[in-house]
Amino acid sequence: MSKKAYNRIKAVLAEEHKTNKDLAKMLGVADQTVSRWCTNAGQPSLEMLYQIAKVLKRDVRDFLVPNK
């Protein structure tokens, strides 16, 4: 069974030419934490999602996979 994608963090990082390590450093979290978010193995809290949007200067909605 495949993992469901809930966030677009990995895609947005690619669009911004940033790495997981770059984001981890900006947020003050472990590289492994960002890696889990990027692979959808774990999800950031809503507060953290807003922090991610803030440091990458993006709208928080850019990070969510739309439901259909």
The pTM assigned to this predicted structure is 0.88
Residue 57, C-beta contacts closer than 8 angstroms, at least 6 positions apart:
none
pLDDT band at 28 (very low <50, low <70, confident <90, very high): very high
Q: Where are the domains of the chain?
A: 9-56
CB 9 within 8 A of CB 65: no
9-56 CATH, one of 3.30.479.10, 3.40.50.2300, 1.10.287.890, 1.10.260.40: 1.10.260.40
pLDDT tens-digit map of 3-17: 678 899 999 999 999
Between CA 52 and CA 48 the distance in angstroms is 6
Residue type, 59: D
pLDDT tens-digit map of 34-51: 999 999 999 999 999 999
pLDDT score of 1 more than 60: no
